[in-house]
Amino acid sequence: MFSKPNVFWYNINTMRKIEIFDTTLRDGSQAEDVSMSVEDKLRITEKLDELGVHYIEGGWPGSNPKDALYFEKVKTLKLKNAKIVVFGSTIRKGNTVHNDPNMQSLLKAETSIITMFGKTWDMQVTDALKISIEENLDLIHDSISFCKHNVDKVFFDAEHYFDGYKSNPPYAIKCIQAADEAGADCIVLCDTNGGCLPDDIKRITTETKKSVNTHIGIHVHNDSDCAVANSIIAVENGAVHVQGTINGIGERCGNANLCSIIPNLELKLGYKCIGRERLRLIREVSRFVNEIINIPHNKKQPYTGDSAFAHKGGMHVNAVQKRTDTYEHVNPELVGNSRRILISDLAGKSNILRKAEEFGMSLDKDKKVAELLEKLKELESKGYQFEGAEASFELLMKKEMGQYEETFELLDLKVITEKQTHDNSFVSDVMIKAQFPDGTQIHTAASGNGPVNAIDNALKKVMMRYYPQIENVVLHDYKVRVLSAGKGTATGVRVLIESGDGKHRWATVGFSENVIEASWEALLDSYEYKILKKY
C-alpha cells in the first residue's frame, strides 16, 4: 500500500526535466585560490559539454579582458549538448540600453543566451546602487527587454532575492514581475549570501511561483552549508532550472555542488537532468576540474570522493561484501565511482574497462585488467594522477598492452642554469643523448629561458629527426603541485602539462621528487601521444 504512491511519485518526476546550468567558469572562478586561464576554461567547457549540462556560463566580458577572449575562442569548439551563456548586469543608472558598456559587451559575446542579474533587495537598491526602488524596476525591465530583442533567451538572476523577500516581500515580487513582463525566459531566485535554511527556500519559492508566469530557477551559495539541500527543496517546490558549480567551488564557502545535486535529483527523486548514462561521468568531471584548476581532491566529497564508497571497519566490510546496500546508499558505478575495501582494494576494474573501450582497446576482463589495475595503483601510490591527464593514461595502457613502443632510449640528460652578469637574467642549457630503435645515437643541445623550456626545445630537436609530425606541437600550460607536506624542498611534485597542435589538445603528467624529471616525463608523454594518435 505504501509502495504505490512512491512509484507514482517517481513516474511523475521522470516526466519533468530539470535544466542544469553550470557556472563553474564564472561564479566558480571567484573562489579563493582558483585562477583559470582561457585555455583552462576551454578545456573545462568541453568536459562539461561531455557531461551533458544544458548551459555553461562562460564569464562576464564586461568585467575583464580574459572573459572577453574566452567568448571569442569558445566559438571554435564543437559542442554537442551545452549552450554557452554570457553573464552581465542590468544597465547602470544614467545609461540607456544603447550606450551602456556592459550591455554592449554582452551583445559582443554573440551568444544566443544572456544571464542578467539585478537587485531585488530594497536595501541593496537604496544603499548599494544609490537609486530609488522605482528606478531599479525600470532598469530591470529595460535591460531584459532590450536583450530579449537581440538573443533567443534571457535568464534573470534575482540577486539577494530571498533576503529581499524577507525584508520587503511586495517589492521583491515587483522586481521579478518586471523581469517577467520584459520577457525573461527564466527567473532565477538567488540566495546570494548563502544564509537561508531549507524552510526559507521552500516557503519563499512556493509563494513566489504564484506571482510570475515564466519558469523559476534556483541559485544558492553554501554559507550555511545548505546549498545542495536548498537547491533540491527549490526543485521540489517548482524550480525547473538549477545553477551550481562542479565540486561547489565559488566565492566564500562556495556555490551549490552540482556533483551532489545532479545524482540526488536523478537517482533519489527520479527527475531527468543529464541522463543515467552521462551521470557515470560525474566523478571523472569532478576530478578533471580539480586537476585543471590545480586544487587537491576532496576525498570525503559525496558521490565523487575516493572515500565515498570506501569501507574499512571489519563489520562494515563483512556486511558490504554480502550485500552492498548495507553501507552504500547508491551503486557507486552509477556515478562513475567504485567500491573500495581498504584492507584489499577491489576498486577500479570497471573504470579500466570503460577507458579501454574509449581508447579502442580490447581487454581480457580478468588477467589484463588486473595487471593494468595493479600498475595504476602502483603509480598512484607514488604520486601520479591521471585525472586531467588522459593522454598519459592512454599511453600507459597501450605500453602495458604491448601496443606502443617508446620512441627512444635516453642515455644522458644534463641541465645547466646560469645567471648572466650582463643583464642579470637566468638562462638554461640542456644536453640530450638518445638512442633510437635502429641503433642511431643523437646528441644535441638547446637553450631556454628556464630548464623546462630548454628541455622542451632539446627534446623536440632530438625527436624531430625521426618524428617530424611533432613540429607543430606547442606547450599551452604547465602546472606543478607539491604533494608531500613537511619535507620542504625535498618533497615530491606532480607536473601537469597541456599541449596542442592547433587542432587538438591533450594533457600529460609526470611525477618525481625532482621537478626536472617530472617535467621530462610529462613533456615526453606529450610528444609520444602526438605520435600515437597520428594527428
Residue pLDDT, tens place only, 144-156: 999 999 999 999 9
Give the pLDDT band of residue 347 (cuts 50, 70, 90).
Answer: very low
Whole-number Å distance between alpha carbons of 170 and 433 = 77
Give the other-Cβ count within 10 Å of 120's Cβ.
Answer: 34
Burial class of residue 264 in the structure, from the number of CB atoms within 10 Å of its CB (0-12 exposed, 13-18 middle, 19+ buried)? buried
What pLDDT score does 484 carry? 66
For the residues 88-115, what does the mean pLDDT come to? 94
Higher-confidence residue: 490 or 492? 492
Q: How much is the pTM?
A: 0.75
* Amino acid at the residue 249: I
- Measure Cα distances from 359 to 8, 79, 338, 535 in Å: 41, 21, 20, 15
Give the DSSP letter of residue 124. Answer: I
What pLDDT score does 255 carry? 98
Strand 426-435 with 441-448, pairing: antiparallel
> Cell 545535486 belongs to which residue?
261
What pLDDT score does 219 carry? 98
What pLDDT score does 9 carry? 38
**Is the confidence at residue 259, as pLDDT, over 60?**
yes
Return mean pLDDT, the chain: 90
What pLDDT score does 13 carry? 54
Whole-number Å distance between alpha carbons of 183 and 214 = 8
Residue 473 · residue 288 · CB < 8 Å: no
What pLDDT score does 1 carry? 27
What pLDDT score does 386 carry? 85
What pLDDT score does 11 carry? 43
What pLDDT score does 23 carry? 98
Give the pLDDT band of residue 115 (cuts 50, 70, 90).
Answer: very high
**Is the confidence at residue 406, as pLDDT, over 60?**
yes
Determine what percent of the chain is predicted with pLDDT higher than 90: 73
What pLDDT score does 343 carry? 37
Whole-number Å distance between alpha carbons of 532 and 398 = 9
Q: Which segment of 17-26, 231-240, 259-268, 391-400 scores lowest on mean pLDDT? A: 391-400
**Is the confidence at residue 12, as pLDDT, over 50?**
no
Give the pLDDT band of residue 310 (cuts 50, 70, 90).
Answer: confident
**Is the confidence at residue 305, as pLDDT, over 60?**
yes
Residue 418 · residue 397 · CB < 8 Å: no
Q: Distance of alpha carbon 173 from its chain centroid, rounded?
A: 34
For the residues 329-342, what does the mean pLDDT come to? 88
DSSP letters of 490-524? GS-EEEEEEEE-SS-EEEEEEEESSHHHHHHHHHH
Whole-number Å distance between alpha carbons of 65 and 224 = 33
Give the pLDDT band of residue 486 (cuts 50, 70, 90).
Answer: low
Buried (b) or exposed (e) across 11-37, using 16+ Cβ within 10 A? Answer: eebeeeebbbbbbbbbbbbbbeebebb
Q: Which segment of 28-32, 317-321, 419-423 scores lowest on mean pLDDT? A: 317-321
What pLDDT score does 373 carry? 82
**Is the confidence at residue 56, as pLDDT, over 90?**
yes
Whole-number Å distance between alpha carbons of 214 and 136 = 20
The rounded radius of gyration (Å) of the Cα atoms in the chain is: 26
Burial class of residue 405 in the structure, from the number of CB atoms within 10 Å of its CB (0-12 exposed, 13-18 middle, 19+ buried)? exposed
**Is the confidence at residue 512, as pLDDT, over 50?**
yes
Would you say the C-alpha torsion 296, 299, 301, 305 has a positive or negative sign? positive
Helix (H) / strand (E) containing 480? strand 474-482
Q: Which segment of 161-165, 173-177, 494-498 scores lowest on mean pLDDT? A: 494-498
Domains of the chain: 3-274 (3.20.20.70), 375-405+473-535 (3.30.160.340), 408-466 (3.30.160)
**Is the confidence at residue 14, as pLDDT, over 60?**
no
For the residues 380-400, what does the mean pLDDT come to? 87
Q: Which segment of 53-67, 172-186, 476-490, 511-525 scores lowest on mean pLDDT? A: 476-490
What pLDDT score does 446 carry? 95
- Measure Cα distances from 84 to 46, 112, 294 in Å: 11, 8, 24
* Amino acid at the residue 49: D
Residue 431 · residue 443 · CB < 8 Å: yes
What pLDDT score does 39 carry? 94
**Is the confidence at residue 378, as pLDDT, over 60?**
yes
Give the pLDDT band of residue 346 (cuts 50, 70, 90).
Answer: very low
Closest CA to 529 of 502, 512, 503, 507: 507
**Is the confidence at residue 193, as pLDDT, over 70?**
yes
**Is the confidence at residue 354, as pLDDT, over 90?**
no
